[in-house]
Structure 1
């Protein structure tokens, strides 16, 4: 018996339908090129305008009809006109458009005598510099001598040649000024108020005082020109206290060398302590 071995025929693979490849649309370069050309053209135009503006500025600034001819400086007490012009760093012939007003004002403000400054330009030829100078009211010893202005601010250390003919305020230290600037300023303002009261005195006045001493815990003590006698005032009410002293000062004056102190820090009496 024969073994029959039947070999199955392989089935023919089914034919697959091939998809047609997608056709790519051609890129339309025209709008892109147009945009690029406009951008490049715009940038070139801006560059040309900037370059032209710079060149025009340089040309105009060099023209004689926009050059500085007149420098006006307000009336001064402490400083001279030549000092101000030198600090401003300008001179006739400078280009008006090239003058930097803010920089001039900042440079002038560095001078301690200058409190306020205004710099203006008036075409075609004028520069105006208006200043407000500080006025010293007293000298304060805070480790070194400083001028005190009308606002109670220390504004300038005294140098050789500076005038000393001002009331002397003592008692504040450099550390006090640094650690408590507001409190120190208020103390100096109170000292100036005391100076005003002394100036108004007819019998006992500023000329009778050699030193105004401030103590943070107590207040103010004056030292007399004659004999260096302490006159205790404390805080506030200076006019009334000094007026009471004025009532007896003529009688006390011949005895000043024998006095230890005068205490005015009361509302209804004066204590005179003999040495």
Structure 2
């Protein structure tokens, strides 16, 4: 006997009593934790940040140039324009060369550029006639043909001249500016010589040029064999005079002689007859000791020998009065 058909259909469509997924989970598996949902960050991309459509730019105007506008014209000048430009440049160049040539010829051969005046300046002891003679600039010499260096070399041969500067003054003048030696003392070396501030003997002294302190005691043989040592002695004498300049008790105006002794050093002889032994040391320190002696009561009007080179102590020794010695019969 067959079973009813509807019972078979109920059997096939009935759900199972157990879940197959739960049966497949292992017994010792860790429990799973559900994570909370993560919020989405806002997008920074400009496309997604704003959904507004961008405005469309207006279309550019279209220009249709004509054939008469500059971009359609040829920039090359025509033939006649080029010919005029070449002729103009040639004429201007020819005029420039002609003017320069005429000026050069005028300068080279013109009488206005011949030397007719020689000006001498700065000379006090050297005569203008002697300087003109040493310059040897002939009349009618072209101004630009004058050898300035040669003229300066010739003028420096004068015994009074220390330095020379020669200049051209347009259109026809040559100026000679000289700088002379300044005498500081007289050097007794077989003859009397004028010595400048650098210690150089530059000229023999004459009768009207003896109003300077005289440096004595220098051996002429030493000056000829050892000029360096002789120059050192002269430089030392100039340092003594520089230290005495402006001194209230002794100065260049009151010094008649500056004697050098190879054992004692420098001895200053005053016009009143007093002798001041400065020695080889610093003349400024020696005159400072003299100031202390005067402050202590020393009478500088009495002729005496004062040793200023004895360390920190100055020694004064009376000397005979030269006025009394010359007044005796």
Could you tell me the TM-score, scaled by structure 2's length? 0.58
C-alpha contact 2:293 2:314 (8 A) present in aligned 1: no
Residues 212, 256 of structure 2: 8 Å contact kept: no
Say if 1:220 and 1:235, in contact at 8 Å, map to a contact too: yes
* Paired position in structure 2 for 1:166: 212
In our comparison, the structure showing a higher alpha carbon Rg is 2
Aligned CA distance change for structure 1 residues 133 and 207 (closer, same or farther; 3 Å): closer
1:246 and 1:166 map into 2 onto residues whose CA distance is 24
Aligned length: 214
Q: 1:132 aligns with which of 171, 179, 196?
A: 179
Structure 1 pair 167–65 and aligned structure 2 pair: CA distance change class (3 A): same
State the Cα RMSD in Å: 2.7
- Kept in 2: contact 1:61–1:98 (CA 8 A): no
Q: 1:79 to 1:208 in 2, by over 3 A?
A: closer
Distance in 1, matches of 2:110 and 2:255, equals 63
Displacement, 1:223? 1.8
8 Å contact from structure 1 (residues 120, 129) kept in 2: yes
Q: Does 1:239 align with 2:284?
A: yes
Q: Secondary structure at the match of 1:251?
A: coil
Name the counterpart of 2:233.
187
User: Residue 215 of structure 2 contacts residue 259 of structure 2 at CA under 8 Å; is this kept in 1?
Assistant: yes
1:72 to 119, 131, 136: 119
Q: Which has the higher contact order (CA 8 A, sep 6+)?
A: 1
Q: Distance in 1 between matches of 2:182 and 2:243?
A: 19
Distance (Å, rounded) in 2 between the aligned partners of 1:171 and 1:252: 28
Gaps of 5+ in 2: 1-105, 320-329
What per-residue deviation string (whole Å, max 9, x for no partner) do you get for residues 120-171 of structure 1? 3355422222221111111111111000101011111113x44111111111
TM-score (norm 1): 0.68
